[in-house]
Structure 1
Amino acid sequence: MKAVEPIRDPKKIDAMKKYLKGKNIRDYALFVVGINIALRISDLLNLTWKDVLQDNKFKTVSIKEGKTQKTRNIKLNKSAQKALEELLNSLEAPDINDYIFKSREGDNKPITRQQALNILKEVAEAVGVEENVGTHTLRKTWGYHAWKNGFNPALIMETLNHSNLNVTKRYLGIRQDEINNLYDNLNI
């Protein structure tokens, strides 16, 4: 099985947002929130409105991660809040107990992991993303861009709940990017 990659090109990310926003606001919100809060897909899909809202205002999300069983507190940034607000405003009669990324099938079920993958594969193909994309791409994209924007690698490692920095570097494909950059920029 080929490993999935982060979406490295900010222009491709913007193209994916635009495509999804024009097609389905729920899928757009899934993508935007996913690349902005670095949760594993299973944890992301299980979010309900009560996890993110209190008294009609966005709150810090406190979640016990399924894989690690560690509690994470996530402050929703402006991009995630805006996408969630647009989704919320598009809903007819939202209930605080509803899943945010609600399936059209069943009373109150989130979309499946497979459906999330289908959404990501479709949009990636539509806008010409060449990297191998999967649901973990959302989390990897967050980490990659945190690193590229100069955030402390130890902080990124801790946020992703990795055991050491080498795991984080390998996870994000950082070493190969650094090597490619060296070859591109060292001209003797």
Structure 2
Amino acid sequence: MKEVEAVKSRDTIKLISYLLKRHYGQQMADVWEIGLNLALRISDLLATRFSDIRGDKLCITEQKTGKQAKILLNDKTKSLIEAIRQRHPDHVYLFQSHRSHQVQRTEPKPLSRRAVTKAFAFVGEDIQLALGTHSMRKTRGYHLYQSCKDISRVMHMLRHQSEAVTLRYIGLTQQQVDNDFAQLEI
């Protein structure tokens, strides 16, 4: 699997959303924006059902780890979810495949990981960035770290077991850590 990057520029984050909407539609832009705000693995994000949303929290069991995750929904995420609910009141999944509705008498299915991977890779090529489904999670972790400089907070948000994994995950290099020490004099 190709290594993907965190998106470090907020302008690039907005550009990706715009390009996804332009080339693939509102649903793919919603995957990007909600994915950034929830920092879930793509398998958990796509498997999210409207019934998993309880008030202002998303309550799921992570597929990879089996851990329970209760994530507070920020205002932007609540607004995006409500817009999806308004557009598709009969959907079971937050990101439901439209193809499953085309075939009568089939169970609803979520958008496929393959479709999202393809869309993200296309946009990534366009802007010359290693963009993939994991970029959303990495981007959220990177920006949280930049705002608080607390790796344990980032580790907790991503539900990682070690700081080393989290540092590598968000693309923080030893050089950047060294620069932080050199620049901050007390």
Specify the SS of the correspondent of 2:69. strand
Which structure 2 residues correspond to residues 1-188 of structure 1 after superposition, within 5 A?
Answer: 1-22=1-22, 24-52=25-53, 54=54, 58-91=55-88, 94-95=89-90, 98-107=92-101, 108-126=108-126, 128=127, 130-150=128-148, 152-175=150-173, 178=176
Query: Where do 5+ consecutive residues of structure 2 fail to align?
Result: 102-107
Go from structure 1 to structure 2 and tell me whether the alpha carbon gap of 1:122 and 1:89 turns closer, same or farther (over 3 Å shift). farther
Normalised to the residue count of structure 1, the TM-score between the two structures is 0.83
Aligned to 2:105: none
Of structures 1 and 2, the one scoring higher in RCO (CA 8 A, sep 6+) is 1
CA distance in 1, matches of 2:96, 2:175: 37
- Deviation of the 1:18 alpha carbon: 2.4
Normalised to the residue count of structure 2, the TM-score between the two structures is 0.84
Query: Where do 5+ consecutive residues of structure 1 fail to align?
Result: none
CA distance in 2, matches of 1:2, 1:19: 21
Q: Percent identity?
A: 32
CA distance in 1, matches of 2:134, 2:21: 21
Cα root mean square deviation, aligned: 2.2
- Deviation of the 1:32 alpha carbon: 0.5
Specify the SS of the correspondent of 2:138. helix
